[in-house]
């Protein structure tokens, strides 16, 4: 479908009066009607109303429209509604375009004439892009009705039983030779005081007695292939490898106790950790009368001591005092969690005679051969605590094999190495759910009650997923032009979703192939490909460059031409919020929405400068917050490289700026775009740069 065949209908929304009070919509319609490819341009009081949608649908049939544009509110709230209406009228949803003249025009510019001029420019950009849109169909794949659980601790055992209750086969892969995880090392559980051994034995019995669950102990994952909904997992066990097929994977690998080598005398006799103390309690071998427990928060005393570690300390201190009231137990700490249930347990411990000694982070306790020497900040005195045992309460940390598993499953990791929860509201909504769910201490240190809660949640999501029969994606995905691909493999290295593989092509060259169900449409491979053999649906080079050209066309009234390329999850969302709050910024800025900052292409930027841009602001998610894992990292590397090239050519690099934005920080967005526009105006036209 080429540009000459475009029959575009443009519907300009008054939004009652929320747009038409600020923009001369009649003048907008008259200007739009004269644009190439536009066969219908008219106003709608409310385009999103039932009557408005029906009129759009009638125009598609009656006017033979093959592209539809609504100039109204933000695509973040109404794009799917309009696409659905178009599809009901027989027009492929990918041929719909929404132009945001409310949040990013009407509500941010007080001068009606300026707002109208900008609205004309925005719709002109939308028409230029719409003329090049192409239809696309949803992608579907088969879902294997089976669940794989990685990890056989509390979370893994609970998730396996819950998933198996849905009638699908479940396989547990546990690295250790027996099930149970860290609970095997515990003595009692809080707050119930129940025997840890009895608890975990019950969990294990429920698994062993379920015919729908297969247990592989002494086994580990060595490879994960396939697509969402149809994973092929290679498992190594007893020197042999086998392949399991699963539609969903539940990650319940747990955490591990940290070993404080070289700290507080650890490694010497009578100095051990809380987990080692639990093992002694299990066999009743604690005869010590003077016990000092040191709560240690980890690197730099900055906090990664978890509430679980604190609770374990309080629980064991209380247990030891109850077992032998004459025993002297002290807890040395730099900080304690506030609120329930901690305050209740602290009060109980104090009532039993447990001594609490607070130290300042810069004055750590010293453990000698006979006593713990510490300055008590609570009493402002130096304290000498003789001991028979020193028990270190160190935090749980991510497992050593977490990086390997993260790489195989394409899971992000937080600063402490755990697998963070990817909240659904933050995930792009139109690409395939990968069917991978994390629960328990693989997320962060969690007690048994929370681990079980998370496990039930993960199991229900996995069960719903594998019983759906098919997985689908509405995403605009990347595709390879086999005529241009050289099989260099650059795209494979840069894809954060492992969606690209190199296979044998015709002749001597290899060929890149993209799994559309794994592709999330970030566009990183499109920019990285040296031969420009990859295109991204609905964000092709031609479409983006057409938008840029249209943005830079038309009169300027002497103002600099400023372009903004905005990631839809950060900068674009912040711009929408600025509009909702009626925060003002200069009207001579034109925004182009991109799916991810990974799509910031140096060629597009150069194209913009060559076509009259005086300044370009790039808005991306903050480091670590990219919805596509590493898009902002690649964007930063590319823009830094382009800055160096431009500087070497004598171009003033102040005209190109990459900024990080939060989606909910409208004020910072407005301040940055205003400051940038002011700077560009002072610099003057780019053609005068030297």
| Stretch 407-424: mean pLDDT | 80
| Stretch 393-404: mean pLDDT | 91
- How far does CA 538 lie from the centroid of its chain? 22
| Stretch 498-502: mean pLDDT | 90
Asked whether residue 91 falls in the same domain as residue 22, the answer is: yes
Instruction: Say what the pLDDT of residue 628 is.
Output: 86
Question: By percentage, how much of the chain surpasses pLDDT 70?
Answer: 95
For residue 423, pLDDT beyond 60: no
For residue 636, pLDDT beyond 90: yes
341 prior amide bond cis, ω within 30: yes
Asked whether residue 485 falls in the same domain as residue 565, the answer is: no
The H-or-E segment that residue 117 falls in is: helix 112-130
**φ, ψ dihedrals at 525, nearest 5°:** -65, -30
Instruction: Say what the pLDDT of residue 342 is.
Output: 83
Instruction: Say what the pLDDT of residue 496 is.
Output: 86
Structure tokens belonging to residue 368: 């000698």
Mind listing the pLDDT tens digit for each residue in 652-666? 999 999 999 999 999
Asked whether residue 557 falls in the same domain as residue 505, the answer is: no
Least confident of 257-261, 329-333, 349-353: 257-261
For residue 286, pLDDT beyond 90: no
Instruction: Say what the pLDDT of residue 192 is.
Output: 78
Mind listing the pLDDT tens digit for each residue in 108-126? 999 999 999 999 999 999 9
Confidence of residue 95 (pLDDT cuts 50, 70, 90): very high
Question: By percentage, how much of the chain surpasses pLDDT 90?
Answer: 77
CATH number of the domain within which 10 lies: 3.40.50
Spell out where 543-599 has E strands.
562-567, 589-594
Structure tokens belonging to residue 568: 């839809």
Instruction: Say what the pLDDT of residue 525 is.
Output: 97
Q: Last residue of a domain, which of 497, 512, 536?
A: 536
Asked whether residue 606 falls in the same domain as residue 491, the answer is: no
Instruction: Say what the pLDDT of residue 401 is.
Output: 94
Sheet of strand 8-13, all strands in order from the earlier edge strand to the far edge: 38-44, 8-13, 67-72, 96-100
The runs of H, that is alpha helices, within 244-305 are 274-282
For residue 304, pLDDT beyond 90: no
Asked whether residue 483 falls in the same domain as residue 570, the answer is: no
Instruction: Say what the pLDDT of residue 27 is.
Output: 97
The overall average pLDDT reported for the chain is: 92
Confidence of residue 520 (pLDDT cuts 50, 70, 90): confident
Confidence of residue 534 (pLDDT cuts 50, 70, 90): very high
Contact 88, 60 (CB under 8 A): no
Instruction: Say what the pLDDT of residue 422 is.
Output: 61
For residue 395, pLDDT beyond 90: no
CATH number of the domain within which 190 lies: 3.50.50.60
Q: What's the sign of the alpha-carbon dihedral 264, 269, 271, 273? A: positive
Asked whether residue 323 falls in the same domain as residue 402, the answer is: no
Distance CA 524, CA 630 (A): 9
Question: Bridge partners of 148?
Answer: 171, 249
Asked whether residue 483 falls in the same domain as residue 610, the answer is: no
Structure tokens belonging to residue 387: 């001991």
Instruction: Say what the pLDDT of residue 35 is.
Output: 96
Asked whether residue 690 falls in the same domain as residue 543, the answer is: yes
Instruction: Say what the pLDDT of residue 261 is.
Output: 80
Domain ranges, residue 325: 259-394
Q: Last residue of a domain, which of 422, 439, 471?
A: 471
Confidence of residue 576 (pLDDT cuts 50, 70, 90): very high
| Stretch 32-50: mean pLDDT | 97
b/e sequence 298-325, b meaning 16+ C-beta within 10 Å: beebeebbbbbbbbbbbbbbbbbbeeee
Q: Which residue has the higher pLDDT, 90 or 475?
A: 90
Asked whether residue 511 falls in the same domain as residue 454, the answer is: no
Instruction: Say what the pLDDT of residue 317 is.
Output: 95
The pTM assigned to this predicted structure is 0.80
3 state SS of 216:
strand
Confidence of residue 285 (pLDDT cuts 50, 70, 90): confident
Instruction: Say what the pLDDT of residue 689 is.
Output: 43
Contact 288, 389 (CB under 8 A): yes
For residue 426, pLDDT beyond 90: no
Distance CA 564, CA 560 (A): 13
For residue 424, pLDDT beyond 60: no
Instruction: Say what the pLDDT of residue 302 is.
Output: 38
Confidence of residue 585 (pLDDT cuts 50, 70, 90): very high
Asked whether residue 543 falls in the same domain as residue 675, the answer is: yes
Structure tokens belonging to residue 27: 């003048």
| Stretch 132-141: mean pLDDT | 92
Characterize the bridge pairing of strands 96-100 and 67-72. Answer: parallel
Q: Last residue of a domain, which of 394, 423, 455?
A: 394
Asked whether residue 545 falls in the same domain as residue 689, the answer is: yes
Q: Specify the residue for token string 């427990």.
A: 293
CATH number of the domain within which 483 lies: 3.30.70.3270
Asked whether residue 354 falls in the same domain as residue 480, the answer is: no
Instruction: Say what the pLDDT of residue 507 is.
Output: 65
Confidence of residue 688 (pLDDT cuts 50, 70, 90): very low
Instruction: Say what the pLDDT of residue 416 is.
Output: 86
Question: Bridge partners of 500?
Answer: 514
Task: Give the count of domains, the chain.
Answer: 5
For residue 556, pLDDT beyond 80: no
Least confident of 35-44, 305-314, 542-551, 677-686: 305-314
**Burial level of 606, CB count in 10 A (0-12/13-18/19+)?**
middle
Mind listing the pLDDT tens digit for each residue in 142-193? 999 999 999 999 999 999 999 999 999 999 999 999 999 999 989 988 777 8
Q: Which residue has the higher pLDDT, 361 or 4?
A: 361
For residue 49, pLDDT beyond 60: yes
Instruction: Say what the pLDDT of residue 306 is.
Output: 58
Contact 560, 534 (CB under 8 A): no
Structure tokens belonging to residue 117: 């001029």
The H-or-E segment that residue 241 falls in is: strand 240-246
């Amino acid at each position: 479908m080429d540009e000459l065949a475009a029959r575009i209908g443009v519907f300009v929304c008054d939004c009652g009066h929320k747009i038409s009070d600020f923009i001369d919509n009649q003048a907008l319609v008259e200007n739009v009607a004269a644009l190439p490819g536009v066969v219908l341009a008219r106003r709608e009081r409310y385009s999103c109303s039932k009557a408005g949608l029906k009129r759009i649908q009638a125009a598609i049939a009656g006017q033979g429209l093959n592209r539809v544009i609504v100039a109204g509110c933000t695509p973040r709230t109404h794009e799917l509604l309009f696409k659905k209406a178009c599809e009901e009228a027989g027009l492929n949803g990918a041929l719909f375009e929404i132009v945001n003249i409310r949040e990013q025009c009407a509500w941010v510019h007080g001068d009606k004439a300026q707002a109208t001029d900008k609205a004309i420019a925005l719709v002109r950009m939308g028409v230029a892009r719409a003329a090049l849109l192409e239809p696309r169909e949803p992608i579907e794949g088969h879902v294997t009705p089976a669940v794989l659980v990685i990890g056989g601790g509390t979370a893994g055992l609970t998730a396996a039983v819950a998933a198996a209750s849905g009638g699908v086969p479940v396989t547990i892969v546990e690295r250790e030779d027996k099930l149970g995880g860290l609970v095997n090392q515990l003595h009692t559980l809080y707050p119930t005081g129940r025997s840890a051994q009895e608890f975990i034995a019950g969990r294990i019995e429920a698994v062993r007695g379920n015919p729908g669950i297969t247990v592989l102990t002494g086994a580990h994952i060595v490879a994960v292939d396939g697509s969402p909904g149809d994973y092929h997992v290679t498992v190594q066990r007893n020197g042999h490898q086998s392949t399991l097929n699963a539609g969903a994977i539940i990650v319940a690998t747990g955490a591990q106790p940290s070993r404080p080598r070289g700290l507080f005398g650890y490694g010497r006799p009578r100095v051990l950790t809380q987990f080692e103390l639990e093992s002694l309690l299990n066999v009743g071998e604690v005869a010590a009368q003077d016990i000092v427990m040191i709560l240690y928060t980890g690197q730099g005393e900055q906090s990664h001591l978890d509430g679980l570690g604190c609770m374990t300390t309080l629980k064991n201190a209380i247990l030891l005092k109850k077992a032998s009231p004459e025993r002297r137990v002290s807890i040395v700490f730099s900080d304690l969690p506030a609120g329930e249930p901690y305050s209740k347990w602290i009060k109980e411990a104090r009532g039993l005679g447990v001594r609490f000694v607070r130290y300042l982070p810069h004055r750590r306790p010293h453990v000698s051969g006979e006593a713990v020497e510490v300055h008590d900040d609570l009493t402002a005195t130096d304290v000498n605590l003789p001991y028979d045992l020193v028990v270190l309460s160190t935090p749980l940390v991510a497992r050593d094999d977490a990086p390997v598993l993260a790489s195989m499953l394409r899971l992000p990791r937080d600063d402490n190495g755990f697998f963070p929860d990817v909240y659904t509201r933050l995930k792009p909504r139109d690409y395939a759910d990968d069917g991978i769910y994390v629960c328990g201490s693989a997320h962060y240190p969690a007690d048994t009650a929370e681990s079980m809660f998370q496990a039930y949640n993960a199991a229900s999501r996995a069960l719903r997923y594998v019983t759906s029969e098919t997985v689908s994606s509405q995403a605009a995905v990347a595709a390879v032009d086999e005529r241009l691909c050289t099989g260099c493999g650059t795209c494979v290295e840069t894809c954060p979703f492992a969606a690209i593989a190199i296979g044998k092509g015709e002749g001597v060259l290899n060929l890149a192939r993209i799994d559309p169900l794994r592709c999330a449409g970030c566009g990183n491979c499109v920019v990285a490909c040296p031969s420009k053999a990859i295109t991204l649906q609905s964000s092709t080079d031609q479409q983006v460059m057409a938008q840029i050209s249209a943005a830079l066309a038309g009169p300027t009234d002497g103002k600099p031409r400023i372009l903004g390329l905005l990631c839809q999850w950060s900068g674009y969302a912040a711009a929408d919020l600025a509009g909702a709050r009626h925060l003002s910024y200069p009207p001579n800025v034109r925004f182009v929405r991109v799916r991810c900052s990974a799509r910031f292409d140096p060629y597009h930027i150069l194209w913009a400068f060559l076509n009259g841009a005086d300044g370009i602001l790039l808005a991306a998610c903050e480091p670590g917050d990219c919805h596509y894992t590493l898009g902002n990292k690649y964007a930063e590397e590319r823009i830094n490289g382009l800055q160096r090239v431009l500087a070497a050519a004598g171009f003033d690099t102040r005209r190109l700026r990459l900024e990080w934005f939060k989606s909910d920080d409208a004020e910072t967005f407005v301040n940055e775009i205003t400051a940038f526009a002011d700077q560009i105006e002072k610099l003057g036209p780019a053609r005068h740069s030297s």
